[in-house]
Amino acid sequence: MTLAMKTHVVSENEWEAARQQLLVKEKANTRARDALAAERRRMPWMAVEKAYAFDGPKGKASLVDLFDGRRQLIVYRAFFEPGVHGWPEQACRGCSMVADQVAHVAHLNARDTTLVFASRAPQADIARLKARMGWQMPWYTITDGFDADFGVGEWHGTNAFIRDGDKVFRTYFIKSRGDEAMGSTWSYLDITALGRQEEWEDSPEGYPQTPPYKWWNWHDNYAPDAAPDKKWAEVSDAGEAAMRKQNG
């Protein structure tokens, strides 16, 4: 069956001219996203005063425990519990689609950031679901009013936190269509207080920043406090120089 679609077929030169015209707007959109992320990094922080309790694979856990020793925490509230369509075999279809898009968490961990999912399902059900679906992110059970207190009592959403020792602060929150963009390492880092932590970013003075590209690694090869690989640094320098030349 052929769909009745309006098409505009042109020559290669005309197609490239049209692409270049649209590319101007796409680059402007990228710069606007960068500026918006810079504003997020200047958002005020809200102190988390309550003590929250979760169940995890290793037993009881506090909100501080969810950080797993890192400075930043991102919590996605996924719906997997009695009353959710698909229970107990499956989680919410939308939340499951979000889970399917999550990049390997080692890259976030390398930026001192932990990503976790949280639901009201018991840990046994969560473990079974993760094994079936091939999901690797840490997933905790909500046992108190955490979801209602942080805007995700009746719907999904993503909260970002930062800690100073045992003091925890809420730094950002997105929900609804905001969650559609989540999944990549970059989309998660862009909603955090510290951002991607690369030198090109417009961040407040004193924020941690390192050269772009140099910290990138294979997900199974990150090592704490490791110096950038010399060969990769040379390759990334050459690639960055080529891009600067291409972009004028």
For the stretch 168-187, pLDDT in tens is 999 999 999 989 899 999 99
Instruction: Please name the residues in contact with 4: beta carbons below 8 A apart, sequence gap of 6 or more.
Output: none
Query: Would residue 52 count as lying in a domain?
Result: yes
The Cα 3–Cα 89 span in angstroms is 37
pLDDT for position 1: 56
Q: In what order do the strands lie in the sheet with 59-62?
A: 46-47, 167-175, 157-164, 72-77, 113-119, 139-142, 53-56, 59-62
Query: Does position 50 have pLDDT exceeding 60, yes or no?
Result: yes
Decide if 198 is inside a domain. Answer: no
pLDDT digits (tens, 9 = 90+) for 79-95: 999 999 999 999 999 99
Q: What is the mean pLDDT of residues 4-30?
A: 94
For residue 3, is it within any domain?
no
233 found inside a domain:
yes
pLDDT computed for residue 236 by the predictor: 87
Q: pLDDT tens digits for 183-232?
A: 999 999 999 999 999 999 999 999 999 999 999 999 999 998 888 889 99
Are 67 and 183 in the same domain? yes
Q: Cα separation of 86 and 1, whole Å?
A: 33
51 and 148 together in one domain = yes
Tokens for 58, please give them. 């290793």
In the predicted structure, residue 248 carries a pLDDT above the cut 60 = no
Domain count, the chain: 2
